[in-house]
Amino acid sequence: MKQYGLIGYPLTHSFSKNYFSAKFEKEGIKDCQYDLFEIESVEALPALLATTPGLCGLNVTIPHKQAVLPLLNDLDDASARRIGAVNTIKVYPDGSTKGFNTDYYGFMESLAEWLDHRAETDPDLRALVLGNGGAARAVMTALEDLRIPFTLVSRQATEGALSYEELTDDVMIANRLIINTTPLGMYPKTEVAPPIPYALLTRHHLLYDLVYNPLETLFLKKGAERGAANHSGLKMLHLQAEKAWEIWNSEDDL
């Protein structure tokens, strides 16, 4: 039996087990199992690896995407090492591990498809990235590769980031694409949203939420009320999951 799973804490929000279980059934994939491993501390990972026979791969979610790096034997140069965060771990037959970042792939592909579908060819398109965790790192790297300038937004202003209080009229007008990489609005705390000035949103704004549970977060709902277009994280989830499956089952690292 080949074993796969997800590590994080808590895991009440995750669709990963349902996604992979449905994939196994639909595609007739035998002798594979996907489980949730809720670990509060990432330091529990070595014990999990040692006590889970047949473990071939793991997904990584909040809050372990950055903390897990020093516990791995190797990092993929093109994604995890460059981004500084891991959401996919490949476990080799000898027990060694290598970290990858498929969030990067899933976000970049889904955003490029959405913008193309909307015929968004504005060379002056700029983005605000809400949050500064592991998912934000993947998003910022993807935006760099798509050549979309961005500004990081966090609870406190730093040398490289604005605070939410600094989102003035001019800032909101200049940045039409707003990407939420925080867990704000995720089930079960669906009544909260990033504290941006929603009254300054217009029909020209594009809101992308990495949260996929629920599909319409309060962030997206409040944007839609102002006429803004919106995009949930579901397509990104599917793309990153399929990329992880490809990595786990490839003879060579992708």
pLDDT band at 115 (very low <50, low <70, confident <90, very high): very high
pLDDT at 13: 73
Res 12 pLDDT > 90: no
Provide, rounded to the nearest whole percent, the portion of the chain with pLDDT above 90. 89
User: What pLDDT, in 10s, does the model give residues 198-222?
Assistant: 999 999 999 999 999 999 999 999 9
Continuous segment of H or E residues that includes residue 171: helix 169-174
**CATH superfamily of the 104-235 domain:** NAD(P)-binding Rossmann-like Domain (3.40.50.720)
Mean pLDDT across 147-175: 95
Active-site entry in 65, 90, 98, 222: 65
pLDDT at 119: 80
pTM listed for this prediction: 0.91
- Residue 102: closest CA among 124, 119, 78: 78
Identify which has the larger pLDDT, 35 or 121. 35
- Residue 8: closest CA among 89, 111, 93, 117: 89
Q: Is the dihedral of CA 80, 193, 227, 198 positive or negative?
A: negative
Res 100 pLDDT > 70: yes
pLDDT at 123: 85
Q: Rounded CA gap, 213 and 135, in Å?
A: 16
pLDDT band at 251 (very low <50, low <70, confident <90, very high): confident
Mean pLDDT across 116-139: 91
pLDDT at 254: 54
> Domain map of the chain by residue range?
2-101+238-248, 104-235
Mean pLDDT across 43-61: 96
User: What pLDDT, in 10s, does the model give residues 175-188?
Assistant: 999 999 999 999 99
Res 57 pLDDT > 70: yes
pLDDT at 253: 62
- Residue 137: closest CA among 110, 104, 108, 114: 104
- Residue 57: closest CA among 19, 87, 27, 25: 87
Look up 2 and say whether it is catalytic. no
**104-235 and 2-101+238-248 share a CATH fold:** yes
pLDDT band at 118 (very low <50, low <70, confident <90, very high): confident
HSE-CB of 61 using CA atoms within 13 angstroms? 25
Res 43 pLDDT > 80: yes
**CATH superfamily of the 2-101+238-248 domain:** Leucine Dehydrogenase, chain A, domain 1 (3.40.50.10860)
Q: Rounded CA gap, 218 and 190, in Å?
A: 7
